[in-house]
Chains A and B, each alone.
Chain A
Amino acid sequence: MLGISLGKTATATLIKVAIAGVAVMGGTALVSSSVFASLTATATNTSGGSVSTGTLSLTQAASGVAGITGGFTTPITAMGPGDTVNRYINLTNGGTLDAINPTLAIAATPSNALTTSATAGIQVTIKNCTVDWTAAGACTGTTTTALAATPASSLGTAAALTLPSTLAGAVSHLQISLALPAGTENVLNGVLPTGTIQGLTTAITWTFNETEHTGTTTNS
């Protein structure tokens, strides 16, 4: 015995709840059963439907043109205000997927005026040529600007690059110009001014990034 006494009305109500719940579960079960039943009629493709994923790969290499193979690994020395050194890098999207949103960021150690001063520090400009740059720094194809003159001080955060193509297999022939602004320093009797840009050294690491192209839906 339950030991709980229910009135007539309450008993009737509980019975209705039970009936409603059972009705829903039963009805759904009937629907589900009909779905399961339809799965028993199977159609299978006769040949294997192959599904494979693509790859996204970004690599950089110094130009192979004789005379401009310095790349990022050869030191730059004795730069002065007004000087420019151009280095040549081939950036390759070597995967099978198209890419979008190429960017460049740098990291410098130690941090000093070369990479913290927006006015006296290093300025980076990047141009792209549709073919290899010549040893004299000329482009015999079409030149476009990938990155307008930008202070190294603002490249700690990735900056967007404008490249003509980031399709799978595309190679960007980049001329990376490192320049020091002409400046206004004056050295009197051999004494360097306070906060001078002279006699400094830093080491710059270059990081390029790209993102997989936007997902597409194909009907085929």
Chain B
Amino acid sequence: MFTSKRFALLGFLLGFIALSPISISPALASVRATSVSPSATSFTTGIFRAYATATQIFTNPSAPLSLSMTANSPKVFYVENGGTIGQTAITMTITLTANGVITNLRNCPVGVKFATTTTCVGGVTMTTNTPTAGVAKVYNISIPANSWYAFELTETKNATATISVSVASTQIATFTQNS
């Protein structure tokens, strides 16, 4: 049951609500500014790869080179940089069948072929290396992209030589460019 006091209170509230001013809180907006690059930056990575080939052809064999060797008879092969990044070194492993022993591994400078078994074209100086069959050896030679080195292998048996060449990311020429 509504009492007179409750009706009085109800009437008071109705009157108060009817005459109360309406207040709207202002919205808080944050202004942002954006700047987008006028075009996207094209970013491309190069390729570093080296391999051994019997002839100087720049075709990636995707496999080690297999050479049929005659005892004590020098044979020429090439190590090529078929990538787009210059190399400062390569790692080469020469394995021999028939217990062959490597007696000589010579190379001419970059881009120079052998003139004879003991001379490079133009008389430029050869480099003599002393690898051990079956053991990986690092050759600190600088090979720009699309360049090659001529090597000449001599060993002691009629055998098959398998030549593997690898390049690690620590064996490439790096740069810092401001542009």
| A-B interaction | yes
Q: A residues touching B (Cβ–Cβ < 8 Å)?
A: 12-14, 16-18, 20-22, 24-25, 28-29, 32, 56-60, 67-68, 70-88, 91, 93, 95, 97, 99, 109, 114, 122, 133, 135-137, 178, 180, 182-192, 197-212
16 A-B contacts (beta carbon < 8 Å): A17-B11, A20-B8, A25-B19, A28-B16, A68-B178, A74-B179, A80-B46, A82-B172, A93-B33, A95-B33, A186-B167, A190-B62, A197-B45, A200-B45, A206-B36, A210-B33
Which chain B residues (27-79) contact chain A, with CB distance < 8 Å? Answer: 30-52, 60-64
Bound-state Cα–Cα, A116 to B122, Å? 50
A76-B43, A192-B49 known; A86-B178 Cβ under 8 A: yes
Bound-state Cα–Cα, A187 to B52, Å? 13
14 further A-B contacts with Cβ under 8 Å, apart from A80-B172, A186-B167, are: A21-B14, A24-B12, A24-B16, A25-B18, A75-B42, A76-B44, A78-B84, A184-B169, A185-B169, A187-B83, A188-B164, A189-B63, A207-B34, A211-B31
Is B165 positioned at the interface, with any CB of A under 8 Å from its CB? yes
**B interface, size bucket:** 35 or more
Closest to B63 in A: A189
List A contacts of B168 (CB < 8 A).
Answer: 184-187
CB distance from A138 to the nearest CB of B (A): 9
Q: Chain A interface secondary structure, helix, strand, loop or mixed? A: mixed
Bound-state Cα–Cα, A24 to B14, Å? 9
Bound-state Cα–Cα, A209 to B51, Å? 48
CB distance from B86 to the nearest CB of A (A): 9
Number of cross-chain contacts by CB at 8 Å? 226
List A contacts of B45 (CB < 8 A).
Answer: 78-80, 114, 180, 197-201
List B contacts of A109 (CB < 8 A).
Answer: 40
Bound-state Cα–Cα, A75 to B49, Å? 23
Q: Chain B interface secondary structure, helix, strand, loop or mixed? A: mixed
Question: Are A183 and B169 interface neighbours, CB within 8 A?
Answer: yes
Bound-state Cα–Cα, A78 to B35, Å? 28
Question: Are B39 and A73 interface neighbours, CB within 8 A?
Answer: yes
Of the candidates A56, A87, A99, A206, the one whose C-beta lies within 8 Å of that of B179 is A87
A24-B15, A187-B167, A200-B45 known; A83-B174 Cβ under 8 A: yes
Is B85 positioned at the interface, with any CB of A under 8 Å from its CB? yes
CB distance from A136 to the nearest CB of B (A): 6
Bound-state Cα–Cα, A183 to B34, Å? 35
Of the candidates A99, A187, A189, A207, the one whose C-beta lies within 8 Å of that of B64 is A189
Of the candidates B35, B44, B47, the one whose C-beta lies within 8 Å of that of A91 is B35
Bound-state Cα–Cα, A56 to B4, Å? 62
Bound-state Cα–Cα, A56 to B29, Å? 14
Question: Are A24 and B11 interface neighbours, CB within 8 A?
Answer: yes
Question: Are A14 and B44 interface neighbours, CB within 8 A?
Answer: no
Bound-state Cα–Cα, A204 to B93, Å? 41
Of the candidates A16, A189, A200, A207, the one whose C-beta lies within 8 Å of that of B4 is A16
